[in-house]
Amino acid sequence: MTVDEQERTESPRSKRRMILDAAIDNFGGVGFEHTKWATIADEVGIGQTALYHYFESKVHCLLTIMSTELERSLERTRTVTAGVDDPGEKIRVAVAAAFDVTQREALQARILMSHQDLLVGERSSKREEAERQRARELVREIEHEWAGLIKAATTARRRRKDDQIVLARLMLGMINSVWRWYRPEGAHSLEEISGVVVDSCARLID
Amino acid sequence: MTVDEQERTESPRSKRRMILDAAIDNFGGVGFEHTKWATIADEVGIGQTALYHYFESKVHCLLTIMSTELERSLERTRTVTAGVDDPGEKIRVAVAAAFDVTQREALQARILMSHQDLLVGERSSKREEAERQRARELVREIEHEWAGLIKAATTARRRRKDDQIVLARLMLGMINSVWRWYRPEGAHSLEEISGVVVDSCARLID
């Protein structure tokens, strides 16, 4: 059995993952608008009818990539900060972890950034709307997670509660803005950028 | 002559401005996808043929809104910093000016943020591509303007030149991220948000 054959006979769960990976590579490469739904079906080696079983539209698939990325990032933040005691250090490891990603995760983050306006308006399709709601809920959870980290690191200065949410949004806005311009072939390595962002976020709470 | 009649007989230059304003209100309100090109023509009181004379497509109009907003923001930064001597104060007034905007300018900034991925891929239409190039050039100019402000404020610490561009992008990323979530009816006033962002940007260079 070749690797290809092996992949094609795997569980529905991993088939779904294969579709998502192919979509990430295409949406992140040539862009969402220019990606043909049929190309994804071809790359994964399934018919378009089977493809529709997993995702009812290209937008449904895009929204799923977005909520999956948000979930991954929230889980990652929780995992890396769990073992750290110092509140300032918690923020530093959380920021560093945001840039400690695979190439596909970086693409996924970029897709999330480019299509955030999709989360604003209600979808007429039920499955699309469910995925949009999930993504919005995750955005709120992430903001509260970071506001909590900031609160713990700034207790002594008695920053106002409102400021913590605003500051969390600003910090996340700064971190996520990197995905707009970072390119693997660009002038700055992700490691180099990560260093500047970790230092900048530390300055925001010191 | 009523105000309405007066507007309709104004110069082509102000007719263009009226189209842009109507488009900003619609794209910023119901969204670009949901705005019908015919609605803009109706609101301005011209036929669709006349509308096409100014903008050959909805995308052409959107790209023009984006480059106009970039130009406005660059000019604003230059104007408010020109009369200030202290390098740290220059950055503070530049950040504050970014939030000292009319409601329509805030919408314009939000439209720019939501459609930045439009600046990535080449357009097949000549007029669209010219406007996209103009917008990209302005993004570069803005980044260099802010990198210059940052350089002046951090000379003593001999920050590396590369870091200045990265830091400018991070600072602009933080400032611009506000337009994603700020709503006039939201929990935080623009004045309140501005205060937190000015303080945050000052911390990044101190």
pLDDT in tens, A22-51: 999 999 988 898 899 999 999 999 998 899
Pairwise CB contact (< 8 Å): B170 & A115: no
Q: Which of B28, B27, A149, B138 is nearest to B37 (CA)?
A: B27
Interface test with A, best of B200, B201, B203 (most A CBs within 10 A): B200
Which of chain B's residues have a Cβ under 8 Å away from the Cβ of A177?
Answer: 169-170, 172-174, 176-177
Which of chain B's residues have a Cβ under 8 Å away from the Cβ of A167?
Answer: 196, 200
Nearest neighbour of B204 by CB, restricted to A173, A180, A200: A200
Q: What average pLDDT does the segment B15-32 reach?
A: 93
| Residue range A127-152, pLDDT digits in tens | 999 999 999 999 999 999 999 999 99
Q: To 10 degrees, the CA torsion angle through A120, A173, A32, B71?
A: 90
Pairwise CB contact (< 8 Å): A116 & B114: yes
Pairwise CB contact (< 8 Å): B177 & A166: no
Pairwise CB contact (< 8 Å): B177 & A178: no
Q: What average pLDDT does the segment A154-177 reach?
A: 84
Give span(s): CATH 1.10.10, chain A: 1-54
Does B2 score more than 80 pLDDT? no
Does A1 score more than 50 pLDDT? no
| ipTM above threshold 0.85 | yes
What pLDDT shows up at residue B1? 46
Count Cα atoms within 13 angstroms, Cβ side, for B41: 16
Residue-wise DSSP of B48-94: HHHHHHH-SSHHHHHHHHHHHHHHHHHHHHHHHHHT---HHHHHHHH
What pLDDT shows up at residue B158? 55
Is residue A190 within 8 Å of residue A99, measured between CB atoms?
yes
Give span(s): CATH 1.10.357.10, chain A: 58-205
Which of chain A's residues have a Cβ under 8 Å away from the Cβ of B115?
Answer: 117
Which numeric CATH code is attached to A58-205? 1.10.357.10
Q: What average pLDDT does the segment A67-72 reach?
A: 98
Q: A165 φ, ψ to 5°?
A: -70, -45
Which CATH number is correct for B67-205, 3.40.190.10, 1.10.357.10, 3.40.50.920, 1.20.1600.10?
1.10.357.10
Which of chain A's residues have a Cβ under 8 Å away from the Cβ of B31?
Answer: 117, 120-121
Pairwise CB contact (< 8 Å): A117 & B116: no
Query: How would residue B84 be classed by pLDDT, with cut points 50, 70 and 90?
Result: very high
Is residue A164 within 8 Å of residue A147, measured between CB atoms?
yes
Q: What average pLDDT does the segment A45-64 reach?
A: 94
Query: How would residue B117 be classed by pLDDT, with cut points 50, 70 and 90?
Result: confident
Interface test with B, best of A116, A177, A194 (most B CBs within 10 A): A177
Return d(Cα B201, Cα B173) in angstroms, integer.
11
Rounded to the nearest angstrom, the minimum Cα separation between B140 and chain A is: 12
What pLDDT shows up at residue B159? 66
Q: What average pLDDT does the segment A12-25 reach?
A: 91
CA separation, residue B186 to residues B23, B26, B106, B181 (Å): 23, 20, 14, 9
Rounded to the nearest angstrom, the minimum Cα separation between B124 and chain A is: 13
Does B30 score more than 50 pLDDT? yes
Give span(s): CATH 1.10.357.10, chain B: 67-205
pLDDT above 90 covers a percentage of chain B that reads 79
Pairwise CB contact (< 8 Å): B200 & A204: yes
Which of chain B's residues have a Cβ under 8 Å away from the Cβ of A171?
Answer: 174
What pLDDT shows up at residue B120? 86
Sign of torsion over alpha carbons A151, A154, A160, A162: negative
Which of chain A's residues have a Cβ under 8 Å away from the Cβ of B147?
Answer: none
Q: Which residue has the higher pLDDT, A9 or B92?
A: B92
Does A14 score more than 90 pLDDT? no
What pLDDT shows up at residue A10? 57
What pLDDT shows up at residue A140? 97
Which of chain A's residues have a Cβ under 8 Å away from the Cβ of B91?
Answer: none
SS3 A115: coil
Output the average pLDDT for chain B: 91
Q: What average pLDDT does the segment A96-100 reach?
A: 98
Which numeric CATH code is attached to B1-54? 1.10.10
pLDDT above 90 covers a percentage of chain A that reads 79
Pairwise CB contact (< 8 Å): B177 & A170: yes
Search chain A and give the residue with CA nearest B195.
Answer: A163
Q: What average pLDDT does the segment A4-23 reach?
A: 76
- Six-digit token pair at A110? 């970029």
| Residue range B137-168, pLDDT digits in tens | 999 999 999 999 999 998 655 566 668 999 99
CB neighbours of A87 closer than 8 A, spacing ≥ 6? Answer: A149, A152, A153, A155
Q: What average pLDDT does the segment B192-197 reach?
A: 96
Return d(Cα A172, Cα A98) in angstroms, integer.
10
